[in-house]
Structure 1
Amino acid sequence: MDGDEKMLELNQVRKEYRDVLQTITAVAVDHLMIQTGEQIALVGPSGSGKTTLLHLISGLLTPTAGEIKFNDIVLSSMPETWRDTWRAKAVGYVFQKLNLLSSLTVLDNLLVAMSFANVIPKKDQRQWAIQLLDQVGVSDKLGKFPHQLSMGEQQRVAAARAVINKPSLILADEPTASLDQDNGLLVLDMLRQFAKESGSTLVVSTHDRQIINQFERICSLRKQPEEVIGSATSNRLA
């Protein structure tokens, strides 16, 4: 893939939540462009809108206003079912709450993700899953269920699942929050190495200074003064 290709672009994007008394702006981005293959850290204090922004980029949420484009496809106007299909094939997501399927084993969590996306040939799926789980040090947990793993082990499984379909866009929401320093760096290194080898774009949200220092490009979210009547604040990309 061409490193100069415009991959992801946000223009005048806002996500607002309204009730009868006030409008709360969860996040506002005037303009953000991320090139194919770039690796960036998204930083800001808790509550600054990092998770909301990742959900917007992934299509899990739609913006109240503005436009989100992925390789010239306007995601923000796609029907929900189309976004779901696109996300399964193109996006790998390490959720803050992990979202592993509790009724499935470690191996089956990865196999289900591959089955839904239908990107990896069926004959290769099991071996590819085992290879990724070995990379993050949990290949001995294939038959275990999520509740039988430590939080750190679950986090590593979630990281492997995020890249299982060889996505062109990897989003990671505080991917090292449940890990000690060594395991945190292991997961981050795996995500960064995979992104580098596959030409994928990587966006990692974090407030961990050690993680932030690994990235050349840093995008900061900061709270703005009140913009509407009531107690609402706006979180804007700086």
Structure 2
Amino acid sequence: MPLDLNASRIKLKAAREHIERLKKCTSPLDPKYYDISLIETPGPVIMLNPPKSYRLVYTPKEPIPETLANIIGDALGNLKSALDYAAVRIDAPGTYFPTAPRSDLPNQRTLTKLEAALPGFRDLLLNTLRPENGPDEPLWGLIGKANNENKHEDFIPTLTMVEVQGINARIGTSSLNNCAGGDDAARPINLIRSAAPIQFSSDCKTLVAMTFGASTSVPNEAVIPTLNRAADAVERTLNEIDKSANPYPWASGSGAIANNP
């Protein structure tokens, strides 16, 4: 019976769609996540006609890193599912794809089961897909972590604002054209302070930088490129398994595994 990896490829496609969604809502940052508004602050009440001050302030509308972590977790969860679906097709329900640290792989019981069901799988995994000190090993650590209950919390990104671009404001008789300012995108930011009222255009663009946190296997790595590399690693894995299990091009996906209908 041929080894059918369609379910795995559907999960891989879903992961790439989550990555694209993450890119669309952060490049630039979607305005639904923040507000830029003018705040007027009264002067000291002890003064007669106390002077007011004005601030143009960037304010998050929700916990942005935690919100984006949900999308990141969904992408990685789908990548993990793509691998696990392949393991189930090779062996049986309840079998999970080995994503343990590379040093632990040779002794994994799951690896023994998959080798028995698909001879050559052990060599494929240890020497081709996950060679010792391979460049993709941190990505496997990231994917492997997506199987626990707190996966979204584990993937809360470090979010920093590169800048708010295109700030156009008038303060009294002075004009600020196409200015930029920035700081931590997860917290309120005072973009402009003034003793005079501020008139401003809201046609701003907010650029942010996202990196994985220190507790992950890819600390300080840019989130979207890293997710794309992880998806590519999963796709290579599925392709290699497909070639190993279904070695005859004329069979269009047929293979030697017969214990899974």
TM-score higher than 0.5 here?
A: no
Q: Which protein is richer in helix relative to its size?
A: 2
Task: Please give the TM-score of this superposition, normalised by the length of structure 1.
Answer: 0.28
Task: Please give the TM-score of this superposition, normalised by the length of structure 2.
Answer: 0.27
